[in-house]
Amino acid sequence: MRRILPTFPVLILLILLSGCATTKPPSRNPRVEIQLVEANQMLDSLNEETQGYYADVAAVRHDTAVLTTHPGWPEMQSLLEEMAESEGNADAARIGRETKRWSKRWGMPWEEMFAGYMDLVKRCSGLEARRIGLQSRLLAAQARFLGVAAMEYSEGRIEEGESMEAIVAVLTRSAEELNTYSVNELGLYD
């Protein structure tokens, strides 16, 4: 009888532990549910806006490629760079002569190509503002999901907390991808 007695508490402990391992984690409290719903709504909106941004970047890159493959673009680019660096009337007069020469050489008004370039610069500037805004909102979404993860962990819902952290990791990669886009020295997306 003495041998059975010491193993009995061990068996009870094993049964209790196995029971704890198989029980479901506690259900979410309403506060966590609200935070999760809001985070998911934010993520849906952010995803839609990000997809729109990428579509608009693709369009502006196409239009930029059309502009920069024009045979007169290298000369136009040089003129634009000179205009940015010009410091006086002498430079302005010389650039004016160069633009007239460009128009004659390429059979189109220089102003027309310049207007197309400026339109692209405006579009790229708008896209840059959107990109920066998206990055800011990505950070806010990451914070929201980290908050939900912390609440899940505090309630013993480890798997749910880890799944929230996985979403944060995806959002981090999205932010890194957005960082790969930027305008060049001429104000255009490459």
* pLDDT, mean of residues 23-33: 69
For residue 10, tell me if it sits in a domain: no
Domain encompassing residue 40: 29-70+109-179
**How many other C-beta atoms are found inside a 10 Å radius of the C-beta of residue 9?**
9
Higher pLDDT pick, 106 / 8: 106
Q: What is the pLDDT of residue 103?
A: 94
Residue at 103 is within a domain: no
pLDDT at 14 over 50: no
Does 97 reside within a domain? no
- Share the mean pLDDT of the chain: 84
Residue 81 lies in a domain: no
CA distance linking residue 78 with residue 81, whole number of Å:
5
Does residue 91 lie in a domain region? no
Output the pLDDT for position 151. Answer: 92
Within a domain: 86: no
In whole angstroms, how large is the CA radius of gyration of the chain?
A: 30
Q: Is residue 16 part of a domain?
A: no
Residue 14 lies in a domain: no
Q: How many domains does the chain have?
A: 1
Is residue 1 over pLDDT 70? Answer: no
Q: Exposed, middle or buried by CB within 10 Å (0-12, 13-18, 19+), for 83?
A: middle
For the beta carbon of residue 51, count every other beta carbon within 10 angstroms. 10
Query: Is the model's pTM score more than 0.85?
Result: no
Query: What's the pLDDT at 5?
Result: 36
Q: What is the pLDDT of residues 124-140, one digit of tens each?
A: 999 999 999 999 999 99
